A and B are shown apart, each in its own frame.
Chain A
Amino acid sequence: MEASRKRKFSNGLLYVILAALAVFFILPVVFVAFTALKSNADLNAHSFYSFPQELMWSNFADAWNRIRKYMGNSLFISIVKVPLGILVNALAAFALTRLRFKWATGMFVFILIGMMVPMQATLVPLNMMLNAFDLNNTYPGIMFIYLGFGIPFGVLVLRGFMLAIPKELDEAALIDGCGELGKFFRIIVPIAMPAIATLFILDFLATWNEFLLAQIFITKDSMQPITAGLLTFQGQHSTNYTLLNAGVLLSILPVMFVYVFFQKYLISGMVGAVKG
């Protein structure tokens, strides 16, 4: 009797703490939403917690008109780069796990070390390289760079998963007379689908959220992805807070959508990848 009462009390206390913390975490977005729905006059006249005098959905329409090109750019870059990256990484992971290869572990460590190279260290030479091939301010140029930075993590995740696939399946393929490429596409890839799906989501988000490289290698406003574009947007509307907040809310909608529906993959993928 005593023990269960104690447990109920401590659980209740925990819920209170959790609820308070949850408020802290949701608060900023609620604040953004409130601001986005007000008119500027309303914002100046009343305090934060007052409900909007009138729901200014037009703020969203205005903001959308201005950021829609940035969103489109982000979408294009992500949709092309992510599958391409997965293919490149899967081929490499396959080589490292499935083919008799003396240097497999050494090569893996070599690639893994790339994960701790800060992007800043490569910027100037990359800039020179892109200039030399006239690829500055082009999508192929930035995608090539994104692919490069995605390789260590992608190979880490896919290699980890492929290591766990039983070797018997390889032998079955051999009996069927598949070449290595056939083994790759017809056997390993389908089995690795959960890891590929997870990597797809993680990489999509990382590409969507990427800022530094976009800031440096895409200077043409019409081509900028949402991260760099939003900063420009903030600069242009730095005093028009209602519009700015509407823009922010719109720009996180795709991310939150992916998060709500694929959260399970996201989190387990993150955990699995980091654990190697």
Chain B
Amino acid sequence: MRLKANFAPWLFLFPALFIYLMVIVLPSLYSLALSFFDWNGVSADKKFVGLGNYISLITEDTVFRTALKNNLIWLIGSLTIMIGLGLTFALILNRQLKGRVFFRSIFYYPYVLSGIIVAIVWSWMYHPSKGFVTFFLEKIGLEALANPWLSDPKTALYAIFIAGVWQGVGLPMVLFLAGLQAIPRDPYEAAIIDGARPFQTFRYITLPLLRDTFVIVFATTMVGAMKVYDIIYGMTGGGPMNSTQVLSSWMYYQTFKYNYIGIGSAISWYLIVICLIVIVPYVIFISKRSHH
């Protein structure tokens, strides 16, 4: 009887645990091992280089630096613009406006589209001669600004980012909406009686009570910004001239196009470590809360 009770949890866990180990845990550990080698994946010529790959990425690989920079730009842009807009939309929609659900679904639907679809749709929007963006600029008399946005190394990443905001703003918005709706009316009523003005109630009541939501929004946004791939690969493939490469896409190229398995694995472990730094506080937070 006792023996049976001890085995049961493991039996139920077994399928998930087995698959999880085989697909996520062991492969990521193995790729850590691979990152210490200079190898192309097939030949018998496999040289141990220790931290050589990690070092050469920082010191010699200019595209790696571009990728890091682009991820940073995307990160800062996401934290400010995407979260800022998401919060703004949520605040607007939180009022007792009619048609609120309608607007919410309009702002959220791009989030359910795949990155590839977003990439194709927006590549078409940015088409130099037939795209909507060019047409729009002409209509408002700014055709001087018209540009092949996606083929210009200086503008490509930002053009993709706009598409990224279109796709991504819905998530912070619904998260903030949920957080806002959980706030009771009482603090606001008390504040109004005390003569507080709207900006003050926002700063001293709304923001503090949204603290939990902010943690979640920040964590998901940061990890998403580090892992961004589909939309960039779909719109520019990392170009022009590697100007829009990010860590994920550059890792793809190194591993699968150039067969530098060791380098590719090193890039991916850089990515893991950065994500770890971001997500560990979040995991601690979540598992603490579930103890209540």
- The answer to whether B120 touches A248, judged by C-beta atoms less than 8 angstroms apart, is yes
Scan residues 114-140 of chain B and give those whose CB is less than 8 A from a CB of chain A.
114-117, 120-122, 124-125, 127, 130, 132, 135
Q: DSSP majority for the B interface?
A: helix
Q: Which residues of B contact A112 (CB under 8 A)?
A: 283, 286-287
B22 near A: Cβ within 8 Å? yes
A248 to chain B, nearest CB (A): 6
A164 to chain B, nearest CB (A): 10
- The verdict on A148 contacting B19 (CB below 8 Å), with A245-B124, A266-B112 known, is yes
A267 near B: Cβ within 8 Å? yes
- The answer to whether A149 touches B23, judged by C-beta atoms less than 8 angstroms apart, is yes
Q: Which of B15, B92, B248 has the most CB of A within 10 A?
A: B15
Scan residues 50-79 of chain B and give those whose CB is less than 8 A from a CB of chain A.
none
A251 near B: Cβ within 8 Å? yes
- The answer to whether A15 touches B12, judged by C-beta atoms less than 8 angstroms apart, is no
B31 near A: Cβ within 8 Å? yes
- The answer to whether B275 touches A216, judged by C-beta atoms less than 8 angstroms apart, is no
- The answer to whether B289 touches A276, judged by C-beta atoms less than 8 angstroms apart, is yes
Q: Which residues of B contact A155 (CB under 8 A)?
A: 16
- The answer to whether B124 touches A267, judged by C-beta atoms less than 8 angstroms apart, is no
- The answer to whether B20 touches A148, judged by C-beta atoms less than 8 angstroms apart, is yes
A-B pairs with beta carbons under 8 A, tally: 257
* Residue in contact with B135 in the complex, picked from A49, A160, A227, A241, CB distance below 8 Å: A49
* Residue in contact with A114 in the complex, picked from B13, B24, B120, B132, CB distance below 8 Å: B24
A107 near B: Cβ within 8 Å? yes
Q: Which residues of A contact B19 (CB under 8 A)?
A: 88, 144, 147-148, 151
Could you mark each residue 95-106 of chain A with 1 if its beta carbon is under 8 Å from any beta carbon of chain B, else 0? Answer: 110011100110
- The answer to whether A28 touches B121, judged by C-beta atoms less than 8 angstroms apart, is yes
Could you mark each residue 88-124 of chain B with 1 if its beta carbon is under 8 Å from any beta carbon of chain A, else 0? Answer: 0100100101000001111111101111110011101
- The answer to whether B290 touches A160, judged by C-beta atoms less than 8 angstroms apart, is yes
B241 near A: Cβ within 8 Å? no
Q: Which residues of B contact A117 (CB under 8 A)?
A: 24, 28, 272, 275
Beyond A101-B9, A147-B19, 9 additional contacts (C-beta under 8 Å) are A99-B12, A116-B278, A151-B23, A227-B116, A227-B117, A241-B127, A245-B124, A255-B114, A274-B216
Interface residues of B (CB under 8 A from A): 5, 8-13, 15-17, 19-20, 22-28, 30-31, 34, 41, 89, 92, 95, 97, 103-110, 112-117, 120-122, 124-125, 127, 130, 132, 135, 166, 171, 174-175, 178, 212, 216, 220, 223, 226-227, 229-230, 233-234, 248, 251-252, 255-256, 261, 264-265, 267-269, 271-272, 275-276, 278-279, 283, 286-287, 289-291
B272 to chain A, nearest CB (A): 5
* Residue in contact with B107 in the complex, picked from A21, A113, A123, CB distance below 8 Å: A21
Q: Which residues of B contact A234 (CB under 8 A)?
A: 120
Nearest A residue to B230, CB-CB: A211
Q: Which residues of B contact A163 (CB under 8 A)?
A: 290
* Residue in contact with B125 in the complex, picked from A31, A252, A267, CB distance below 8 Å: A31
Can you offer 19 A-B residue contacts whose CB atoms are under 8 A?
A25-B106, A28-B166, A95-B13, A104-B9, A105-B291, A109-B287, A112-B287, A113-B283, A116-B272, A121-B272, A122-B31, A126-B27, A144-B19, A209-B116, A210-B114, A230-B116, A245-B124, A259-B109, A274-B216
Q: Which residues of B contact A79 (CB under 8 A)?
A: none
A193 near B: Cβ within 8 Å? no
- The answer to whether B283 touches A121, judged by C-beta atoms less than 8 angstroms apart, is no
Cα-based distance from A119 to B34 in the complex (angstroms): 16
* Residue in contact with A124 in the complex, picked from B5, B121, B264, CB distance below 8 Å: B264
Cα-based distance from A47 to B143 in the complex (angstroms): 15
Interface residues of A (CB under 8 A from B): 11, 14-15, 17-18, 21-22, 24-29, 31-32, 35, 43-44, 47-49, 88-89, 91-92, 94-96, 99-101, 104-105, 107-109, 111-126, 129, 144-145, 147-149, 151-152, 155, 160, 163, 180, 184, 205, 208-212, 216, 227-228, 230-231, 234, 241, 244-245, 248, 251-252, 255-256, 258-260, 263, 266-267, 270-271, 274-276
Q: Which residues of B contact A113 (CB under 8 A)?
A: 279, 283
B228 to chain A, nearest CB (A): 10
* Residue in contact with B16 in the complex, picked from A27, A89, A274, A276, CB distance below 8 Å: A89
Cα-based distance from A270 to B15 in the complex (angstroms): 25
Q: Which residues of B contact A244 (CB under 8 A)?
A: 120, 124
- The verdict on A47 contacting B34 (CB below 8 Å), with A17-B92, A107-B13, A111-B20 known, is no
A199 to chain B, nearest CB (A): 14
Q: Which residues of B contact A208 (CB under 8 A)?
A: 114
Q: Which residues of A contact B125 (CB under 8 A)?
A: 28, 31
- The answer to whether B113 touches A212, judged by C-beta atoms less than 8 angstroms apart, is no
Cα-based distance from A89 to B107 in the complex (angstroms): 31
- The answer to whether B261 touches A124, judged by C-beta atoms less than 8 angstroms apart, is yes
Cα-based distance from A107 to B5 in the complex (angstroms): 18
Q: Which residues of B contact A147 (CB under 8 A)?
A: 19, 23
